[in-house]
Structures are given as structure tokens and as C-alpha cells.
Chain A
Amino acid sequence: MHEPLDVAAADAYLRDARCGGLNLFVGTTRQWTGTRETVELAYECYEPMAIKEMQRLVDEAKARWPIERVCVLHRLGVVPVAEASVVVGVATPHRAAAFEACRFLIDELKVQVPIWKREHYTDGTTEWVQGAQPPRVEGEG
């Protein structure tokens, strides 16, 4: 989605009477990376696959933890400094699982979901961010 992400709406969606805790991760645009100053990030996405991958990750998380509610939202297009690019939230009966599942989802999202960010620096230059090297697919290479 290209609009600002609504953390309050995510929180409201994640409230569940069966749950004792929810964990939310909000990824924001950081101004400084070493000595370079970022004005904004721009995100590009292979949308149908990104949605499929997010669903696959949610299914995997649900198989591993007793998740009652979950949301994974990623903003596309331009995201200015301090605004949210990603919101991941998980509600579970007990808090440990909420933390673990939320961490799993954001860690996997950053390796598996086909979204790419481009840094726009204050000096006018731009640069595609090179993501983490994913594990090789079985049978590949």
C-alpha cells in the first residue's frame, strides 16, 4: 500500500479476548547510515509474489506458534525519514510466542519477500540497497 501505515488500526485488529499479549514491530526510515544522510526511501515490489510470500510466512508462523491474530503490512513508494515502512503484529495467549513469532516474521520478510528499497541521500544520489544474501534454494547451484 502507498499510504502511511496505521499502527493504531493494526493494534485494534490484533486485540483478541483469547490473547494475553501482542507484539508489534514497526520498521522506520532511519536518517543516518554511517556518515550518509537519508532523505527518504523508495520501495519497489513484485506485488503478486510479495503477497504470496507474506501469506506463506504467516502460515509457517501459525504452524509454529499459537497465533490468534497476525498482520503484515508493507508500505510502497516513497517513505520519508521516521515514517513506517513495515508493520508486523502478532497476538498470542502468552507473550513469549508473540515476541518470537513477530521476530520470525520480520526476519523472514527481510530475506524472502520481493521488495527492494532505494536510498535517497541528501547529496542527491540514490542507491539500491543490497539485501541480505538468502540461503540457496534446495537443489540450486
Chain B
Amino acid sequence: MRYLISLIPVLPLAGFLILAFVGKRLNKVSAGVIACGTVFSAFILSLIVFMNANGNPTFENGMTITLFDWISVGSFRATFSFLIDPLSLVFLLVITGVGFLIHLYSVGYMKEDEGYNRYFSYLNLFIFFMTLLVLGNNFLLMFVGWEGVGFCSYLLIGFWFKNSAYNDAAVKAFVMNRIGDLGFLLGIILIFITFGSIEYASVFAQAGQMQPGGFVIIAITLLLFLGAIGKSAQIPLYTWLPDAMAGPTPVSALIHAATMVTAGIYMIARTNILYTMAPLTLQIIAGIGIATALLGATIGLVQNDIKKVLAYSTVSQLGLMFLALGVGAYNAAVFHVVTHAFFKALLFLGAGSVIHALHGEQDIRRMGGLRKLMPVTWLAFLIASIAISGIPPFAGFFSKDEILMHVYASNPMLWVLAVLCSVLTAFYVFRLFFLTFSGEYRGDPATIGHLHKTPMSMSGPLIVLAVLSAVGGLIGIPELFSGGNLLGQFLSPVFGQSALHLHLPALSHEVEYVLIGISVVVALLAVLFAMYLYAYRKEVSVTESSALRPVHNFVYHKYYVDELYQTLITKPLQWLGDKTYRILELKVVDGVVEWIGRFVVMCGKSLRLIQNGESGIYLLAMVVAIIVLIVTANF
């Protein structure tokens, strides 16, 4: 079993190495087989482990496999060790499972691309780092995966490296992640200083004994949360994610929707006990979460790029997950991560099929009426849209519902906002759906004639994911519907310690029914409204209506946050660098040095004038010196 677990990350790594070193000599088929095969094997292994793990007490408490010592200095010890417990297993399954599907999808999607092998090597590397992230048994190893996936994301966003804008987006993503990473890193250091260890087991055991709300624990959690903000695209570090859509669409599906961006949720879920001990941080997380959720949703309302809409949707959904974390519903957050992985990946892949079919067209204003032309995609997209809108009995309903319940229990005002958010979500998703598939085709007629066929490798994953999106919610059917909440029970050992401290207020069933009713009804209303507005449109104007134009513009331009950052941070930094160099460095710091040099030479130049060649002056100077000498010595 131990070897099997170790193999899970090793397999994608092996795939990466093979592709990296002999990639040039491999044809596309074998490259695709290697890439998909390794990830699939990893998925199978994860399944095997999962089978063994279910109900096995050693797994519930976490099973550690140590490979080798990585960094050890004095009492500090960071090992290359894997921890298998319910949480990591859940994530592992999602990563390898969805990962495999997306690999498969990519085989078709990237077929024509010259960087095919390179693409798969990056993708494999990503899976490696992602599994490392969730498998690590200490913070530093998590950080390894954390930075590693960030780096892979950098590579894949800038995959088409000839395009400067894409490269800019890649750098932006990496740097923004790095800002968060610095917080994470400092958090790890503070953890080590506080607890004397960075291994989960030892840290959590000690953290449980601590006084809740202590300054240090708040500092630690805030620093870690900073990392999560960067990785999971929360306010204020979310702007990279929409730009990251520059990468190939499967990459957006895998990295920027299903897996990497949820690493922040994983991290907080993993360290839940620390956060439980820091109520203040939890409140901050909830605040940022709901704010991000609303922000993403509103921007998503008016975007016209199919991938941008989905990107903001992701931002918004991630905000929702953080909201869940913020109210202590770790379980619900993880649940939503899983379902979100299904339906968001599906949405992206569906969008990918559309883009693929339309030769790279991404503007929904120039789509429409694709239902007949791409029925599979249409269906998959529809299922995903329903799922994300939270309409029962699809996957999104259960997870979102669980979140809303907890939010209400914690703070009804937040609940109102969250429901608003889900209404907006339903609206923009269906706006997207209707504009894309319903009505009539509004784009270039030439394209429609040469529609790319969606190959099996692409539609296969779509179907699988559609099924998952439809029924995925079953893993977490709440008590209310006499489900066992399988996921919740499975994860309970991980959150057990927190549960002791958190004391989540329980809602009566009546209240729950009412709440569910309200949220479902408003979501349905939103869908209908979207249908009314967009389903049969022939033309889509740039603006909605004149009265709303300024607001629309404002939202359409993403609240000008990018521009704000540009003016407040990027430009000043550039300016600062330039001025520091030109003025401070060259004129002041170096100037002083040069000035000293010149001063010395000037001294030499002027002093030598005393030596004017006339003996009379020399003698006079000597006599004066003698006089001075005698006078100072005697008087």
C-alpha cells in the first residue's frame, strides 16, 4: 500500500520526465498515451487506496509515508512524507479523476498544436505538483506543491509563448501568486517558531490545546490565508484568474477551475483547527469570501467572452467556498469543491468544444443556435448550468444548499447576500447558455459551414463529467433528505477536532425547508428571466439599456480594478525602479562615491599649487611652520 501511495505522484512525474527528455522523438499518439496513461494509473491507484481506506481506522487518523529527509536544520525538519487521510484522498480522487478526463479531452483539443508534447509534459508536471500539494504531511511540502502548481500554471498560461499578452498574463498570475506565497511562507515560519514543528500532526495537536483567539494564531492564520487569497483568486488578488484564460481551454478547466484554484480551500480545510482557534480570521475569510463571490458574479453578468464569464464565475464560486470556510462549514466547502470541480470543468470543457468548433471564436455575441449543431455539448452544458445554478437534484444544489444552511445559521445577512449571489450565478450562466446555444447563429457564416467536429476524446469526458455533475451531489445528501451525508462522515475525522470547538448552531428542519425553497425558487426565477432576455435574441447589442449604461460600463470593465492596480502598483513600481536607478543609485549612492574620488583629486590639484617652485615661498612656509610649532608647543 505504501508503495502504491508513493506511486500516485511519481507516475505523473515519470510521465513528465519521459515527455520532457524524449518528447521530441515521440509521436503525438504515444505522447498522449503516456500522459493520459500515467494520470489514469494514478487515478486507479487513488481509487484502490480509497477502497482500502473506507472505514479503515489507520486511514482516518492519517497514514504517513516518509520518503526522505528534505531540509533538516537543528530542530527544524521538513521531510518528503506523504499523508493519506480522508481529506487528501478526496482531493486526490478529484485531481486525478478530473485530471485524467481533461487529459483525455486535451488529446482531441490540442491535436493540431505544434507544442502538443510540451503541453502534455506540463500537464503531467502539474498533476505531480498538485498531488504533492495534497499529499504532503507538512506545511513545507504543501508549499512545494503550492509553488509548483503556480509554476505550471505560469507555463500553461503562457503556453502559446509567441503572444506577448499571454506571457504578460502568465507573469501576472505567477507574481500575484507569489504575493500570496510570501504570506504562506512567513506563516510557515511563524508556525515553526510557535509550535517547533511544521508537521501537521504535531502542529494540530498543539493547536488544539491553545487559547482561541490568541494573537499568534491569528497572525498565522492570516498569513496562511494570504497564500490562499493569491492561489484561489480572492479579493484583492483575483485579477490574474480572468487573465489566465489565455491558456488553452482544458488548462483553464483543470487548473483554473477544478483543481489548482481550490488549493486555498484545501489548505484552510487542512489547517481547520488553526482557523477554528482564530475566530477573527474566520470572520475576515467570510467577509472576503462573500465580497469576492458578489464581485465575480456581477462582473460575470456582463462579460461577453465565454471563458471570461466562466472565469468570473469561478472567482465567485471560490468566494462562496471561502464563505463556507469562514462560517466554519469546512465540510460544505470541500463538498462544494468536489461538485464545483465537476460542473465547472464541464462548463469549461463545453466552452472548449464550442471554441474548438468555431475555430477559436470566444465572443458569445457571435454565437447562438449551436444546440442543433452540437447536441452533446449542448446537453452537457445544460446539465452543468443547472448544476451550478443550484437547482435540485443536480450536484450543485446539495453543496450550495449545505453552504447556505451554515451561512444562515451563522449570520442571516450573509445568507441574503449568498442567495443574491446564487441568483446572479444562475442568471449569468443561463445568459451564457442561451446566447451560445439558443436562437440563431450570429457569427461569421463561413465558420459555421466548416464547423470542427467534436472528436470522441472530447465528447467522452464531457459525458462523464455531465453524469458526475448530475449525480455527484449524491455523495453528500444531507440528513434533511434522509441521506447519510457520506462525504461529511468520511471527512469527519479531519474536522473532528474543530467540531469540538466550533459548536455550529443547528437549524430546525422547518427553517431549512423554507430556506431551500427560497433559494431554489429565486434561482429558477433567474433562469427564466435569462431565458426571457436572451433565449431568442438575434442581435446582442453592446449595451443593455441607456439608463444602465454607466453602471454596465463600470461592471463590464471589471470595476476598473485592473486599471487601478496598474496605476497604483505596477506603474509606480516601474517608476520607482526607474527613478531609484537613475536618481538614487546613479546620482546619490554612486554620486557620493564619485564625489569623494573627485574631491580627493581636487585636493591634490589645489594642494600642489603651494608647491609653486619658488624657494622663497618654501623657506617662508618653513619659517611659518616653525613659528607655529614653537608657539603651539610653548604657549
Are A and B bound to each other?
Answer: no
Q: List residues of B whose CB falls within 8 A of some A CB.
A: none
Q: List residues of A whose CB falls within 8 A of some B CB.
A: none
